[in-house]
Amino acid sequence: MALVTGASRGIGAATAAALAGGGRRVAVGWHSDAEGAKATVAAIEGAGGEAVAVGLDVADAGSVDAGVDQVEEALGPVAVLVSNAGIAADGLVARMSDDRWRGVMATNLDGAFHVTRRVVPAMMRARWGRIVTVSSIGAYVGAAGQANYAASKAGLVGLTRALARELAPRSITANVVAPGAVATDMTAALDGIRRDQITSVVPLGRMGTPEEVAAVIAFLASDAAAYVTGAVVPVDGGLGMGS
Ligand code: NAD
């Protein structure tokens, strides 16, 4: 079965639906939006799939361990992990508080570590597994006002590549998906002018959809991607080309 963190909405919800559409049972991880997670589960069940919602704050190792215990009881061991939960708390470095820095690192980077540590032993026993972490184009092109976010997302690349090497002998792959600008609640927080500025420099001339990111994640989670590991796959309309 597959566990997707932060799956109450946006890219996570679309990923849960895509994996369920491919025949996997899915655990829909949520943190603050129980209703969103219920809606994700209902949509999957409505399409004939199987899913459960699980409350799980990735920043809190105890919550992760308890959440994964619950998921394993309901659906069995985690074979596919999508570490998608993420937040942004933008601000210029000169004025960034420790809390703003730590908060983003705790969710985006520590969070992926906590969940991976908890699910990897079962993958190792099964000698099969798929780990996909959701980073960002910001990890390698940077973004003014997003030092905390970019650092956390770059950290995910290092984490995932270390995992790829550690786990390759057990046929477990670990890959990164790096979205560009995707139309979700995260980008809805930007004002219209900023959104227009971003789309004007995207070669494909528009934002991506959560489903377009989910399709790439679902491929990396599939048997067809057995020979892909340690990769960083951009889903950015060409925005980060060459970087
Ligand atoms: P979103 O804000 O709609 O979704 C983020 C999800 O993470 C939500 O479900 C939220 O509840 C969950 N979450 C936040 N803190 C959590 C915690 N402590 N524990 C568990 N869950 C938590 O945003 P989205 O655009 O769907 O983002 C999904 C991922 O994609 C994030 O990691 C984000 O950084 C990344 N990303 C998004 C974009 C974009 O343009 N939208 C671009 C690049 C990368």
Domain span at 23: 2-231
pLDDT value of position 69: 98
Does a structural domain hold residue 213? Answer: yes
Binned at pLDDT 50, 70 and 90, residue 189 comes out as confident
Burial grade of 35 (CB within 10 A; 0-12, 13-18, 19 or more): exposed
pTM: 0.98
Does a structural domain hold residue 90? Answer: yes
Does a structural domain hold residue 127? Answer: yes
- With CA atoms as reference, report the closest residue to 79 among 237, 221, 211: 221
CATH value at residue 149: 3.40.50.720
Does a structural domain hold residue 17? Answer: yes
Question: What is the 8-class DSSP label of residue 182?
Answer: B
Average pLDDT (185-189) is 85
Does a structural domain hold residue 46? Answer: yes
Which residue has better confidence, 197 or 160? 160
- pLDDT tens-place string over residues 155-168: 999 999 999 999 99
Ligand 1 centroid to residue 169 C-alpha, Å = 31
Burial grade of 6 (CB within 10 A; 0-12, 13-18, 19 or more): buried
Does a structural domain hold residue 95? Answer: yes
Does a structural domain hold residue 152? Answer: yes
pLDDT value of position 56: 97
Average pLDDT (168-190) is 94
Determine the 3-state secondary structure of 139 from DSSP.
helix
Paired residues of 2 in beta bridges: 26, 80
Pocket test residue of 4, 15, 31 for ligand 1, highest count of atoms within 8 A of CB: 31
Total number of domains in the chain: 1
Q: Using CA atoms, how far apart are residues 113 and 65, in angstroms rounded to an integer?
A: 12
Q: 11 in ligand 1 pocket by Cβ < 6 Å?
A: yes
Pocket test residue of 64, 84, 110 for ligand 1, highest count of atoms within 8 A of CB: 84
Does a structural domain hold residue 236? Answer: no
Determine the 3-state secondary structure of 28 from DSSP.
strand
Q: 225 in ligand 1 pocket by Cβ < 6 Å?
A: no
Beta-sheet pairing, 80-83 with 129-134? parallel
